[in-house]
Structure 1
């Protein structure tokens, strides 16, 4: 056999083998890529996404896996719908009696004498605390279950922080305290304004609650250090009693209370900082607390910036 014919035959065999390997690799990789895309879209909250139709005509393990995936997503979607309905029902059933209690209290205040006013005021405060607790429990449950997701949009974070500080300072003046904005770099973040506003407000109100009389709470928004990359940080510092070092990582747990002056006697449900951490995590960020050298606590929220964030 001539060498040219042998080379030609070898090239033909090589091309046929390469084509066969390509088709085989595509046949195997296509369903894997489809399953990966489906899992990604499902994890991002697209619970009604299904892939069964993309495997029509296949009778192999991949089609069986796709059918199993679709059954799983259908069950999860149903469970999420039932959970949403349950939360709505629970919210209505718990808050309706409180609303009626509020009406009854107003009537009692008008019909009773001065001797009963103090007791009625106490009942009113406890009812408001219970209503607040119900709201925070429901919010935390929605976030942790994935029902409350971060519907993101471009957000002017400095403008949001300025409004929070202005409102908080007005509230703090009633107890002889103040809230000031020490630094506010103009920048844009991709996020949910409702969740982030709630997260920062919880930290600021926590600082107001535990700050001593005639104290100042300082809030700042700035670019994070160069080692943190394209990120920002929000800091809220008070001059209260601080938190024992061994308990700093626990204050973001639901219902956790430290062993010093930050006790239930100061009010609150113990859920505010837990909601803050869950909301920040939904945005790909982190939050931590540390004691200030001069006394008090400083809470730092780190968040990723948009690529086109303004300096």
Structure 2
């Protein structure tokens, strides 16, 4: 027998929810997003505390023929808001902010702002649903790829080197380079030592090297060097033209090389590209080093000549590397 007095038995009170046409579509979309089959199920879960109500910018597609919006108590509202229901375990940090619902027979409405824009959280939602492995790989690539690019530039030496040619130190007759004496520097010779011609320009630096002295590729550390060997009918004998990645405006020339010992092809700075000799016109075994800037001969900077005779490489500022 039930001794509970009739007045103590809880009774259900009818709850009425009235929405506009636009709010109906929004509420329906909110119910589907929360995993509810109907709006009534959505409201029931809200009442049971199974869902939290948070504000979003838009729920469902905006309707162009929607009537005016109303506030929580049915009065016209000039600042419509959108209400979206989410499961409690997926709600963002911070307490839920209810903006509409149902209470003791009061009429509640959910409205949609037709011109609202997606929030950053909505835009990132698809990305956040990706597996963690994918997200980790994407983030790692964004960090690693720029580092690899910079390392590739440094290791390949593809950056253009800088050199103030006006301030470059040159050599003169009597100087010593790599233990070899400079026998003539760039100048106008009063008399050519072989032909006897007068006022003949000497466009390079002569160094007294014995035949068979190794000649090295000139360039910044790691530079790719292109060597082109050819025979100079005007007396230069076997000549090697060098071009480098870091000094694209310069051409390094080596004259009077040993026959069949000039190697055309691609090399790395510091590699042997030829052997000195005495081919062509010359009064004795020697090495003739020249530099062209955009097609015109310039007085060869000392560090370039030293690199050609020692195999030392250059830094990006044009100085000899440590």
Normalised TM-score (structure 2)? 0.22
Which structure has the larger Rg over C-alpha atoms? 2
Normalised TM-score (structure 1)? 0.22
By percentage of residues, which structure has more strand? Answer: 2
By percentage of residues, which structure has more helix? Answer: 1
